[in-house]
C-alpha cells in the first residue's frame, strides 16, 4: 500500500512539473518576444542542479517523508504567485519562482532517493526505480498536450494553478504513506560545507559508484549533443517541419515507459554496471543510425531505442547509489551523483548547437555513436576484469 501511494505521488507531481517545465519558456516568449529570455527560463530551472551536493545535505539532516510533504506544500503555496505575471515587466517574478522550483526539485529528488534506499528492500530497488521511471515517463506523454492546450486558451496562470494543485495532492499522498523513519543521527559537525564535502568524498572513493557516475555523465553529454541536433535531423534528414520533433520525442517516451517496466527483471539478473553499459551502447547505436539513415521508419524505430537505452543508464546509477551509500549519507551522495550526471547535458546542448552550425547530423551523430560504443565497450571490459557482485534475487 505504501508504495502504491508513493508512486501515486510521483505521478501527480510529475504531471504538474512536466506541464510547468513545458510552459515556462513559452510564457516568457509570449510576454517578451525574446528567444534568449525564453531560453533562460530553462536555464533557471536547471541552474540549481549545480548546487545539488549542497542542497542534498538537507535530505540527510531531517526525516525524509516529512521533508517531502513540506517541499510539496511550499510549491503549492508559491506557484499561485505566478497569476500576477501578466506583462513583460513582471517576468522577473516568473524567473524567481523557476529558480526556487529547480532548487526544490534538487532537494526533493535527494529526499526521495534517500527514503527509497532506507525503506525498500535492496532486492526490490531495481524494480521500484524502474516503476518510478515508468510513472514519470508516462506523464511526459500526457502533460505536454494538456499544458499546451491550457496555455493556448487561457494563458500561463491556469497551468501554474494546475501545477500547484498537483503539488498539494502529492503532499497529501506523501503524508498518508505509512512509513516509519528513525530520526537521522546528529552529525559530529554541524558544518553544512563539511557534510556536503563528505558526501562528495564518499562518492569519489567508491570503486563501484565512481565509474558508474562517470558513465552516466558521459551518456548525458552525448544526449545533449543528440538533443541539439534533433531539429537538424527533422529538417535536413526527414524533410519535416520542426513540430515533427514532438512525434520523435513521443515515440522516445514510449521506449522509456518500456524501459522502466523491464529494468527490474534485468537488475535481478545482471549488475548495475552491465545494465549501464548495455543502455549506453543501445542509445549510441540508435543515435548514429537515426543520423546516418534519413528515413522516417528508421527515425521512429531509433527514437524508441533511444528511449529504451537512456533510462537504463540513469536507473543503474540511481539504484547503485541507493545500494552502496551509507544510510546517513544517501541524500548527499544521490544529489552529488545527480549533479555530476545531469550537468554535462546542459553544457552539451550549447556545444551541440555550435557543432550543428558547422556540420550535418549525418556526420555528427555517427561520431556520437562511435564515442558512445567505445566508452560502453571500455566500461564493460574494465568491469569484467573486476569481481562481479552477485545481483540480488527475489
Q: Are residues 217 and 360 in the same domain?
A: yes
- How many structural domains comprise the chain? 2
- Say if 187 falls within a structural domain: no
Q: Are residues 263 and 319 in the same domain?
A: yes
Is residue 90 left, alpha or beta, with left meaning phi > 0 and alpha meaning psi from -120 to 50? alpha
**Residue 367 in this model has a pLDDT that exceeds 80:** yes
Q: Are residues 167 and 201 in the same domain?
A: no
Report the largest interatomic distance among the alpha carbons of the chain, rounded to a whole angstrom: 62
The predicted-structure confidence for 236-290, as pLDDT tens digits, reads as follows 888 887 667 768 888 888 998 899 889 888 988 889 999 999 999 999 999 999 9
For residue 294, count other CB atoms closer than 10 A to its CB: 15
- Say if 183 falls within a structural domain: no
The predicted-structure confidence for 370-386, as pLDDT tens digits, reads as follows 999 999 999 998 877 66
Q: How confident is the model at residue 14 (pLDDT cuts 50, 70, 90)?
A: confident
Task: Select from 105, 19, 18, 91 the least CA-distant residue to 55.
Answer: 105
Angstrom distances, CA of residue 240 to CA of 226, 261, 362? 18, 32, 16
DSSP reduced 3-state for 279: helix
The predicted-structure confidence for 334-346, as pLDDT tens digits, reads as follows 888 988 998 888 7
Q: How confident is the model at residue 209 (pLDDT cuts 50, 70, 90)?
A: very high
**Residue finishing a domain among 177, 210, 232:** 177
Q: How confident is the model at residue 190 (pLDDT cuts 50, 70, 90)?
A: low
Q: Which residues of 46-55 are buried (b: 16+ CB within 10 A; e: fewer)?
A: bebbeebbbb
**High-pLDDT (> 70) share of the chain, %:** 92
**Residue 160 in this model has a pLDDT that exceeds 90:** yes
Q: Are residues 216 and 307 in the same domain?
A: yes
CATH number for the domain harbouring residue 222:
1.20.1250.20
- Grid coordinates belonging to 237: 534528414
Q: Are residues 132 and 261 in the same domain?
A: no
Spatial neighbors of 225 by CB under 8 A, at least 6 apart, are 348, 349, 351, 352, 355, 364, 368
Cβ 272 vs Cβ 320: under 8 Å: yes
Q: Are residues 221 and 129 in the same domain?
A: no
Q: Which residue has the higher pLDDT, 364 or 120?
A: 364
Is residue 120 left, alpha or beta, with left meaning phi > 0 and alpha meaning psi from -120 to 50? beta
**Residue finishing a domain among 132, 148, 177:** 177
> Once rounded to an integer, what is the mean pLDDT over residues 124-131?
83
Task: Select from 181, 193, 184, 198 the least CA-distant residue to 325.
Answer: 198
Domain around 218: 196-386
Q: How confident is the model at residue 393 (pLDDT cuts 50, 70, 90)?
A: very low
Q: What CA–CA distance (Å, rounded) separates 365 from 302?
A: 12
**Residue finishing a domain among 177, 205, 231:** 177
The predicted-structure confidence for 75-123, as pLDDT tens digits, reads as follows 999 999 999 998 999 999 999 999 999 999 889 988 888 888 777 777 7
Q: What is the pLDDT of residue 392?
A: 47
The answer to which of 112-116, 120-124, 217-221, 316-320 has the lowest mean pLDDT is 120-124
Q: What is the pLDDT of residue 387?
A: 54
Angstrom distances, CA of residue 202 to CA of 194, 214, 326, 379? 12, 15, 9, 21
Q: What CA–CA distance (Å, rounded) separates 203 from 215?
A: 14
DSSP reduced 3-state for 179: coil
Q: Are residues 45 and 157 in the same domain?
A: yes
Amino acid at each position: 500500500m505504501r508504495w502504491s501511494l508513493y508512486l501515486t505521488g510521483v505521478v501527480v507531481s510529475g504531471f504538474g512539473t512536466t506541464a510547468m517545465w513545458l510552459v515556462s519558456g513559452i510564457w516568457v516568449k509570449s510576454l517578451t518576444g525574446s528567444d534568449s529570455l525564453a531560453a533562460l527560463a530553462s536555464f533557471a530551472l536547471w541552474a540549481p542542479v549545480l548546487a545539488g551536493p549542497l542542497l542534498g545535505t538537507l535530505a540527510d539532516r531531517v526525516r525524509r517523508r516529512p521533508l517531502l510533504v513540506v517541499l510539496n506544500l511550499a510549491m503549492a503555496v508559491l506557484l499561485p504567485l505566478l497569476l500576477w505575471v501578466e506583462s513583460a515587466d513582471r517576468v522577473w517574478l516568473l524567473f524567481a519562482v523557476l529558480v526556487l522550483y529547480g532548487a526544490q526539485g534538487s532537494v526533493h529528488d535527494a529526499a526521495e532517493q534517500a527514503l527509497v534506499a532506507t525503506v525498500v528492500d535492496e532486492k526490490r530497488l531495481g524494480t521500484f526505480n524502474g516503476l518510478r521511471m515508468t510513472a514519470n515517463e508516462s506523464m511526459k506523454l500526457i502533460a505536454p498536450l494538456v499544458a499546451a492546450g491550457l496555455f493556448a486558451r487561457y494563458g500561463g496562470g491556469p497551468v501554474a494553478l494546475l501545477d500547484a494543485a498537483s503539488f498539494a495532492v502529492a503532499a497529501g499522498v506523501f503524508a498518508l504513506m505509512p512509513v516509519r523513519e528513525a530520526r537521522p543521527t546528529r552529525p559530529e559537525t554541524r558544518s553544512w560545507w563539511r557534510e556536503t564535502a563528505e558526501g562528495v568524498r564518499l562518492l569519489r572513493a567508491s570503486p563501484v559508484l565512481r565509474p558508474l557516475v562517470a558513465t552516466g555523465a558521459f551518456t548525458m553529454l552525448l544526449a545533449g549533443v543528440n538533443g541539439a541536433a534533433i531539429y537538424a535531423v527533422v529538417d535536413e534528414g526527414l524533410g519535416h517541419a520542426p513540430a515533427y520533433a514532438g512525434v520523435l520525442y513521443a515515440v522516445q517516451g514510449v521506449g522509456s515507459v518500456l524501459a522502466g517496466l523491464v529494468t527490474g527483471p534485468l537488475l535481478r539478473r545482471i549488475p548495475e554496471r552491465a545494465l549501464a553499459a548495455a543502455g549506453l551502447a543501445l542509445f549510441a547505436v540508435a543515435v548514429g543510425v537515426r543520423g546516418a539513415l534519413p528515413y522516417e521508419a528508421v527515425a521512429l524505430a531509433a527514437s524508441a531505442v533511444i528511449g529504451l537505452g537512456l533510462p537504463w543508464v540513469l536507473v543503474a546509477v540511481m539504484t547503485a547509489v541507493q545500494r552502496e551509500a551509507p544510510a546517513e549519507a544517501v541524500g548527499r551522495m544521490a544529489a552529488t551523483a545527480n549533479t555530476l550526471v545531469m550537468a554535462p547535458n546542459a553544457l552539451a546542448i550549447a556545444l551541440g548547437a555550435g557543432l550543428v552550425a558547422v556540420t550535418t547530423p549525418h556526420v555528427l551523430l555517427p561520431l556520437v555513436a562511435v564515442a558512445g560504443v567505445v566508452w560502453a565497450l571500455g566500461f564493460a571490459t574494465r568491469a569484467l576484469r573486476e569481481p562481479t557482485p552477485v545481483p540480488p534475487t527475489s
